[in-house]
Amino acid sequence: MLATATTMTADEGATLLAQFANITQMDPSYYSNLASTIVSLGNNYATTEQKITEMSQGIAASASLAGMSEADMVALSAAVTSLGIETQAGATSMSRLISTLMTAVETGDNLNEFAQIANMSAEEFSQAWGNNAVEALQTFVVGLTDTQRNGKSATVALTELGITEARMQRMVLSL
């Protein structure tokens, strides 16, 4: 089906979806729904189905560990690739961001700082992450835009959190 509606070949689409399903432990009976979602996102955002699929496969491991659904992963991938960020760079950066936030929640390291940016207490951010990790991530990213409340630029806030790699900062700031 992806080969008919996208620039991917049937083999490419099948392989990427199978790898994604293997990582996420997705039931193969959902392939059709996943493919339809990917095509819909590709048709409605400034990205392609191939980029969405490749990035989804790239973030699947960290996103699965964070408790994100397959739909969350595909939506994040569409958001990042629609910003013009290359698939591999975006997948690596998003995986790192997810892992960094998950580590903060699990260990408490920098949790107060992440929570403050999200305009929450550490406990609220931990609960939000546990209930819906992608929504907590979104709240953090949106919080970065409120530089007046934070008293510093988003770039400085990211640097203070140890998020200093240029590609990762570009992705977060673009979001």
What is the model's pLDDT at position 4? 72
What is the model's pLDDT at position 29? 83
Q: Using 50, 70 and 90 to split pLDDT, how confident is the model at 7?
A: confident
Nearest Cα neighbor of 87 from 52, 121, 120 is: 52
For residue 68, the Cα-to-chain-centroid distance in whole angstroms is 9
Q: What is the DSSP letter of 48?
A: -
Of 25-29, 72-76, 140-144, give the lowest mean pLDDT range. Answer: 25-29
pLDDT value at 93 more than 90: yes
What is the model's pLDDT at position 152? 85
Mean pLDDT of 12-32: 88
The residue length of the chain stands at: 175
Phi, psi angle pair for 101, to nearest 5°: -65, -40
Q: Using 50, 70 and 90 to split pLDDT, how confident is the model at 94?
A: very high
What is the model's pLDDT at position 10? 80
Mean pLDDT of 24-47: 90
What is the model's pLDDT at position 150? 67
What is the model's pLDDT at position 31? 81
Q: Please answer whether residues 172 and 157 qualify as being in contact, where contact means their C-beta atoms are separated by less than 8 angstroms.
A: no
Mean pLDDT of the chain: 92
* Alpha-carbon dihedral sign for residues 40, 2, 82, 93: positive
* Alpha-carbon dihedral sign for residues 68, 134, 38, 9: negative
Mean pLDDT of 78-82: 97
pTM: 0.92
